[in-house]
Amino acid sequence: MATTEQNTHDQTDVSIMNWGTDAPRGGKAVMGRILKENATVPLFFGQTMIQSLRDVGYNHTTSALCEHVDNAIQAGATQIRVYLRQTGKKGNYQTDAAVYDNGCGMAPAVLRVATSFGGSTTFGNRSGIGRFGMGMKTAALSMSPVMDLYSWQERGAIYNMTLDVDAIGKERSNSVELPEPTLLTELPDEVADLFKKPMIFPTDRNEQELLAPGNDRLEECLGPSGTIVYMPQCDRLTYAKANTLVDHAVKEMARVYRRALGARLVLFVNNRRVAPVDPTYSMPNARHARLEGLAVTQSRLITSKQVAVRVAEKSEETAPITIKLYRLPIEEWSSLPRKTQRNDLKIFDDNTVSILRNDREVFAGTMTWLTTRHSVTHWYRVQIDFPGVLDEAFGVAANKQGVRLKGYVEDAIKDAIGEEITTINDEIKRFQAQQASRREPAKPSASEAKAAAVDPFQHHPLGVPPTPEEEAQLDQNLRGLALTLKRDGETDEQAFERVKNSTYIIGFKHDEYWPFYDVKHRFGRVILTINTAHPFYEELYDPVRKMSLQAGGDVDDVAAPRGDTQPGPILALDLLLLSLARTQSRLAGNNQDGRGLLDVLRREWSETYRVQLTA
């Protein structure tokens, strides 16, 4: 009876296994043996765990490759080379990846430990880049089912370890153990070729600086110590084409490792040297500083503050962070060609906030809780440096992908630089408004010209024609008026001719205390002044202006001067405001009471509108 009950129990235990068809056979065998024979249960099922770790989330292939670059920097490397070798035809590419460094290398025992999950000689040490002894393996296996590791501490004595997901999955032992490292006198040909032959991308061979070109001895070029992580036949990559993978790696690594690259590190991606890219534009040796035609190459430091932050919310222990605010040279750079601003300087890439952990960037992007959503944020940068002891406070994950700041950390940062950010926002808005309000010298705008052209068709005349005596005095009066309405780049005579030949004139003013528009009727001219400091300008007028310019051609975040072509919506909006100005001018006339009433209406309307837009 007992035997029958036991058999039933065994069958029930085994029947609960519902593994997929692609599950590792060895793991399934171990699980079945445990359920049937009550064998010892391991803390980790190696056969399934290693396959599961292939799905550890990396944002993209570059972030996985960065794990190996991190390890190389920690090993004291001065040269690191990243390879993405692609062979085959479109639709059937084979891509091998590798990372070489000339760091201190690993002794056989250390190499074996480093290949294990959790094996680390710096576990928990927050002074460097790595911490947990997981990154190299998880990063490699997230790209390829095989990781080949080569390391040496003397020439001609290369030790090799391999992690193969399929091989481990077939292991039927409860305890999956790593073998001893294999001693090699030279690298396998498929690995050695990485250093001796050009990659298919970059296509220009002059861009590629090989480690061992020509007949140079590879052993000498590799150096007396170093490590190679080789990932053959990658089956999980962000992009299919080598050129896209390479370009993305260069773009990200140039920024992430900018401080190391600006010091002593030499980094290559597919034999092309990577120059540091600084989103704060404060490094004198960063790539942007080499652009031709830049009169000013660096941003201006507005403030630098060191703030004590608690290592945990309820902890009394603190560590310092450094917060720096930089203002880009908008006055000089706003007049640069669109290509230079966007493609070369990359001003509009939304890297407003850069956060670095132990000199290695872990975040670059926008943080609207700190800055703003307005386009002014393109023209300043916030850089925050923190030590590894604040990992929990900054919410840094083991794979160093992004941050999730605790609320008390955000509060500390806002308290430190909130006022400075408000000030710089206002300064840049004022400059942008001044730029946007510029008009082509000596020429009426399209809206001014059209309003004047159709004035004879209006039902009510604008005013009483001047007397001969007034006509004789008119030129002198208009010369005085022209001086107050003079545009950038105009001579006094050009301003006079423009005002003399214009019935309608639009001007701009930046005043925090003014209504959103003002109307004056002087010497037969209707003068409309738009206030660029009022939210009407930021929320309606400027967006409509930019939309119109985009419809008619390129428009950048900092406006170029308007010429005589103003397509669609901005023309309609200008005419709307000019018709309002004309009506107020006609109704007020010489009536002081009427003028006062319209002035009260304008101010009341402006304040009501401001509250509705901003409250």
Domains of the chain: 2-41 (no CATH), 52-273 (3.30.565), 287-434 (3.30.230), 439-614 (no CATH)
Q: Which residues pair with 529 in a beta bridge?
A: 507, 518
Q: Please give the mean pLDDT across all residues of the chain.
A: 84
> What CA–CA distances, in Å, run from 215 to 58, 198, 212, 221, 319?
39, 14, 8, 11, 53
Q: How many CA atoms lie within 13 A of 101 on its CB side?
A: 23
Mean pLDDT of 376-404: 89
CA atoms of 169 and 45, how far apart (whole Å) = 10
Q: Which residues pair with 528 in a beta bridge?
A: 506, 519
Query: How would you class 434 by CB atoms within 10 Å of its CB: exposed for 0-12, middle for 13-18, buried for 19 or more?
Result: middle
In this prediction, residue 171 has a pLDDT band, given cuts at 50, 70 and 90, of low
In this prediction, residue 465 has a pLDDT band, given cuts at 50, 70 and 90, of low
What tens digit of pLDDT does each residue of 398-436 get? Answer: 667 789 999 999 999 999 999 999 999 989 888 877 776
What tens digit of pLDDT does each residue of 192-213 get? Answer: 999 999 999 999 999 999 999 8
The residue that leads in pLDDT, 259 or 491, is 259
For tokens 């989103």, the residue is: 279
Percentage of residues in the chain with pLDDT exceeding 90? Answer: 51
How do beta strands 300-310 and 79-87 pair? unpaired
Q: Does residue 274 have a pLDDT over 70? A: yes
Per-residue pLDDT at 444: 87
Cβ within 8 Å of residue 103, ≥6 positions away: 72, 74, 75, 76, 77, 225, 226, 227
Phi, psi of 273 (to 5 degrees): -70, 140
Q: Does residue 71 have a pLDDT over 70? A: yes
Cβ within 8 Å of residue 354, ≥6 positions away: 255, 279, 280, 361, 363, 364, 381, 382, 383, 384
8-state DSSP, 344: I
